[in-house]
């Protein structure tokens, strides 16, 4: 009889622990919902609430109206857009010319110098 008591105790602990272990995980519920857009298996309300965090979702969906005094009016909005349809200003174009102009001139000069050296090497050689 004494050898059966520890085994019986372990069986009771296993049965008590099997309840929470058998609960559906949120990932399992998400996969079931994602495969065809509906829940095919039967889940407990607590599992679904835990998976979708329903109390917080319900609390955030119910927004309370903001009460303002009658004398307070919303701030007027001013439209400060210009009539230009270009996405950049003249400053951008000026910076491109100032930065790219010297580089372009340097490239042209380098090309002339290299082509002269190549022509002299062919003629002189």
Mean pLDDT for each consecutive 10-residue tract of the chain (125 residues)? 73 64 74 87 83 69 68 64 65 88 94 87 68
Looking at residue 60, its pLDDT comes to 63
C-alpha dist (Å) from residue 15 to 8, 18, 40, 55, 102? 11, 5, 27, 30, 82
3-state DSSP call for residue 71? coil
- CA pair distance 61, 31, nearest whole angstrom: 25
The span from the first CA to the last CA of the chain, in angstroms, equals 112
- CA pair distance 59, 68, nearest whole angstrom: 22
C-alpha dist (Å) from residue 57 to 50, 61, 80, 98? 11, 6, 39, 56
Looking at residue 72, its pLDDT comes to 65
Looking at residue 51, its pLDDT comes to 81
Looking at residue 44, its pLDDT comes to 85
Q: pTM of the full predicted structure?
A: 0.31
- CA pair distance 57, 11, nearest whole angstrom: 39
């Amino acid at each position: 009889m004494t050898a059966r008591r520890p085994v019986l105790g372990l069986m009771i602990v296993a049965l008590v622990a099997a309840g929470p272990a058998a609960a559906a995980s949120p990932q399992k519920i998400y996969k079931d919902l994602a495969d065809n857009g509906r829940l095919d298996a039967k889940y407990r309300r607590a599992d679904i609430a835990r998976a979708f965090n329903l109390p917080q979702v319900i609390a955030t969906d119910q927004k309370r109206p903001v009460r303002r005094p009658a004398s307070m009016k919303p701030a007027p909005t001013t439209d400060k857009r210009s009539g230009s349809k270009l996405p950049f200003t003249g400053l951008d174009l000026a910076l491109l010319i100032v930065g790219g102009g010297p580089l372009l001139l340097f490239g042209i000069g380098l090309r002339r110098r290299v082509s002269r050296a190549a022509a002299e090497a062919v003629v002189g050689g």
